Structure formats: C-alpha cells, structure tokens
Amino acid sequence: MIKVKVTNQFTLGAFKELKNVVRANPQKDKENYLFVGDTFECTDKMAKYLGGENQQNKSFVEIIEIIPEKEIQDAIQKAVDEATPKIKRTRKKKIEQ
C-alpha cells in the first residue's frame, strides 16, 4: 500500500478502492471529490496512475509513504480481532455425588 497526498483536485469516479481518506479541510468533505492536501492509501498501481501514468499524463498525487506489507497484515488482523465478538469459554464444573 502507498500513502499519497492530493496535489490537484479530482473526482473519485471509479476509484472506489481508496482507504483511510483523511481530509485536510473537513468543511470540504464533498462526496466523490478529493481536494489538495487530502491524504489516502491505495495500491501501488493506483498511485502510479494518479501520479502521472494516466491518459492526461497529469499528476494528481504525490507519494508520501510506502506502507510495508507487515503493517497492513497487522492492521487487518487488528480489525478482525476488534470485529470478532469475544467468546468466553467456561468449563463445566464436575458434579460431585
């Protein structure tokens, strides 16, 4: 995963796989738009596309961090652990006669 910062405003359109979008200006929280200063996480392929490997050869983002695979796996496991209800196991007491 790659963390990027928006350098040119753009519409999300088909870009639904963006993760952890953080708004630089919460008042500009307009659905389907990303504004200069917003950050988000995406795949390497998406970062390259938005970074200039698109039809317009225009850069919309700059890479600010590469997130190691281990951190992603840890974050996924943490989310699963938090979403999974805790099961309390109890032992049945042996009934003495």
Q: Which is higher by pLDDT, 5 or 73?
A: 5
* Model pTM score: 0.64
pLDDT given for residue 39 in this prediction? 93
> Strand pairing partners for 22?
39
In a domain, 10, yes or no: yes
In a domain, 97, yes or no: no
Number of domains into which the chain is organized: 1
- The H-or-E segment that residue 62 falls in is strand 61-66
Contact 39, 4 (CB under 8 A): yes
Model pLDDT for residues 19-36, shown as the tens digit of each residue: 888 999 888 777 788 899
Domain region containing 28: 2-83
In a domain, 88, yes or no: no
Q: How many CA atoms lie within 13 A of 47 on its CB side?
A: 18
Contact 32, 13 (CB under 8 A): yes
pLDDT given for residue 56 in this prediction? 86
If one counts every other C-beta atom within 10 angstroms of the C-beta of residue 60, the result is: 19
In a domain, 28, yes or no: yes
In a domain, 22, yes or no: yes
